[in-house]
Structure formats: structure tokens, C-alpha cells
Amino acid sequence: MLTVGPFDDFGVLGAGTAFPSRVVTNLEVLRGLPAEAWGNRARVPDGEQLEFAATAMEQTLGVRERTWSVNESTLDLAKVAASRALADAGLKSVDLVVVASSTPHRWTSTLSAPLGASLGLSCPCFDVRTGCAAGLFGLAQAGLFHEGGARHVLLVGTETFSKVIPRQSKMAAVSLADGAGALVLGPVSGARLRGVSMNTDGSLAGLVYTSGALPPTREEIERGGYVLSGDAEGLRETVPLKYEAAIRAVLERAGLGAADVDAYVPHQTSKDVIHEVCRRLGIPTGRAFMNLHRHANIGAAGWVVAVAEARAETLKQGQRVLIAAVGGGMSWGAALWEW
């Protein structure tokens, strides 16, 4: 586990989010599933059974609705979120752009470069790809570059997961969504990023991945090689352990305990996972910010959007804010921020 920081007088100057125009409820997701998504059932469930399943998924996952792209690309969403963050910060330029995504709009080029161009920015731009934890890896980079002279850094998380959801996976269809979040980071008197922890274990990549090799082939497309697959049960067992390891590392770096955390803003996977991590660490669940009900899991954009919304709704100056995420590949990380 690598932990970097602290980064003094470094905080959030502006935030923005963006979502596709199409809002889809749990019931609408379930109605749209093909027959094979229901396993060995002789027929697709009827209306009453679908309504029951939709309610049950809201209760267990915490998800009520999500947005799926119609024509919006990952780049389109990133541009809107970034524009709003820059406007919120009152800035027209930054020194660095860092973009986190597992679903870029092009396979063989960066997402950050066209984003920078679309915003009229002239600065270094690079992508980070460590699954849903990519934004935290990007946050660590932002802190390090800020220490090295980058006064303002634009950090963006953006996803269009709807394009890689397996047709037959009911859980993936209900859990995954599209959206983008952006933070403008820079000098904030009194703010302190106490540390960012990061780790990776490539031997766990099979828990969640796309198996198709690049460049794409017709055979792999037909086989479904470019949609998500993996070991769902193994993922459920492993993910809480990685959250715990990342959080303990960053708390140790800061010389603090879970009781010192005022707000927990995690990657938004499911209500059960968030509560399980709170239980393991001794964090009261009431301190965990959740926006799953309106956004579901938006990957690398998840905690970025959550921080943007928590900043507007609940976070207060002087609070200690804990952030954590686990992503496919597999990578995990956490950050502790004195707001």
C-alpha cells in the first residue's frame, strides 16, 4: 500500500456534475431485460412480480433510478461537468487536467486531450484507468502535482456504463449507470488533504473485467467480449476487505481513528457494501453520504459526484471527510480530507 500526503492548503474550489437526459427507474430496467436474464424461469415475470423485484432491489442496493445515455458520450458528459466546475470555481484555465474513466469514448486515444481542447485549455492532460478507484489515483496525482507547482488541477470522473452492461445480467443492469463529476482543486486556506492511500493486485482482475482483446474483432463482439463479466460472488467477498485496508492505511497516515471521521463519502456501489464497510471500521452509518437512490453506480465518477453533491448539501468547513473506492483491475484507495 502506497500512501502519499499530506497536502496543506489544498482543497476544492469548484464542483460540477452532468448526467444523460434519460432517467430509468428500477421497474423500467427490469421490464427491458431479455428472457435469459431471468435464469431458468419458464417465462418473464408478470407486472406485479416485476414491481416486487424493483422494490426489493431498492431496499437492498439503495438504488431507485439512474440515467443512461441516449446520444451522450463519455466526453460529452465530462465536458458539461468540467464546465460547471470551472464556472463554480470562477476560473477559465487550469494547470493540469486529470480524467478517470473505464468507458472512454474512443479505445485508442485519450479522453483528457479532447476534453481539454473542448474547454479551450492549454495544459498537460492525462487519463487514469484503475477502474472505479481511478479518481482517487487521480486525486493523489493532483496533490503531488500541486506540491510541484500546478496551482489549479481539474479532476474529472466520467462513465457511460450503459454501453457495456451484459444483456443477461439483471444485477449489472440495475446497479450501473452513466454520469460525470468534476472538481477544481487548488489553494484553499486551512484545507488539508491528510493522505491518499492506493494499492493494486492484478491477480484479482478476473473479478470484474471485459475479456475481449483489442483491436475489436467481429467474433469477439458477437461473443460479448466487450461487455462486463467476472466473478460476482468473489467480488462481493473481496470488495469490503479492500475498502477496509485502504481506509485503515490513510487513517494511520493521519494518526487518526474512525471515530475522528465526520463524514464518509464513498464510491457508490450499494447500500449493503457501504454499511458493511462502516460496520468493519466503526463508522456510524449516519455519517455515510449516499446518493445511490438517484444515480446508482457511476464508476470512476461515483465518489467525485458524491463529493460534489455532499459539498452542496451536507459538508461543512473544518470537517474530516473520508473518501474510498475499489475498482476493477483490481485497485483500491482512500483519502482523508480536512475540509
Q: CA distances (Å), 312 to each of 92, 306, 321, in order?
A: 21, 10, 14
Bigger pLDDT: 156 vs 210: 156
Of 27, 24, 43, residue with least CA distance to 35: 43
Contact at 8 Å (CB) between 187 and 7?
no
Three-state helix/strand/coil letters over 48-95:
HHHHHHHHHHHHHHCCCEEEECCCCCHHHHHHHHHHHHHHHHCCCCCC
Distance from C-alpha of 74 to C-alpha of 212, rounded to nearest angstrom: 20
- What value does the mean pLDDT of the chain take? 93
- What does the pLDDT look like over 260-312, one tens digit per residue? 999 999 999 999 999 999 999 999 999 999 999 999 999 999 999 999 999 99
pLDDT at 42: 53
Torsion on CA atoms 143, 149, 154, 159, rounded to nearest 10: -50
pLDDT at 85: 98
pLDDT at 43: 66
Orientation angle between helical segments 271-281 and 47-61, nearest 10 degrees: 20
| Least confidently predicted of 69-73, 167-171, 235-239 | 167-171
**Terminal C-alpha separation, the chain:** 24
Of 96, 327, 295, residue with least CA distance to 180: 295
Of 263, 262, 256, 209, residue with least CA distance to 232: 209
Grid cell 418473464 in the structure block, residue: 44
Orientation angle between helical segments 302-313 and 134-147, nearest 10 degrees: 70
Three-state helix/strand/coil letters over 182-204:
EEEEEEEEEEEEEEEEEEECHHH
- What does the pLDDT look like over 303-333, one tens digit per residue? 999 999 999 999 999 999 999 999 988 999 9
- What does the pLDDT look like over 177-230, one tens digit per residue? 999 999 999 999 999 999 999 999 999 888 887 888 888 888 888 888 887 777
Of 6, 3, 1, 4, residue with least CA distance to 338: 6
Grid cell 431507485 in the structure block, residue: 64
- What does the pLDDT look like over 90-101, one tens digit per residue? 999 999 999 999
pLDDT at 1: 94
Q: Provide the β-strand partners of residue 327.
A: 331
Name the pTM for this structure: 0.94
pLDDT at 19: 98
SS3 232: helix
Q: Which CATH class is domain 194-338?
A: alpha beta
Contact at 8 Å (CB) between 107 and 163?
no
Helix and strand totals (H; E) in the chain = 11, 13
SS3 4: strand
Q: Strand 7-18 to strand 178-200: parallel, antiparallel, or no bridges (unpaired)?
A: antiparallel
Instruction: Determine what percent of the chain is predicted with pLDDT higher than 70.
Output: 99
pLDDT at 41: 58
SS3 46: coil
Bigger pLDDT: 181 vs 237: 181
C-alpha cell at 124: 498537460
For residue 139, count other CB atoms closer than 10 A to its CB: 32
Residues of the chain with CATH 3.40.47.10: 2-21+68-189, 194-338
SS3 287: helix
Contact at 8 Å (CB) between 159 and 179?
yes
Given a cut of 70, whether residue 28 has pLDDT beyond it is yes
Q: Provide the β-strand partners of residue 334.
A: 197, 324
Contact at 8 Å (CB) between 243 and 266?
yes
pLDDT at 232: 78
What's the alpha-carbon Rg for the chain, to the nearest Å? Answer: 19
The CATH code that applies to domain 2-21+68-189 is 3.40.47.10
CA 6 from centre of chain: 23
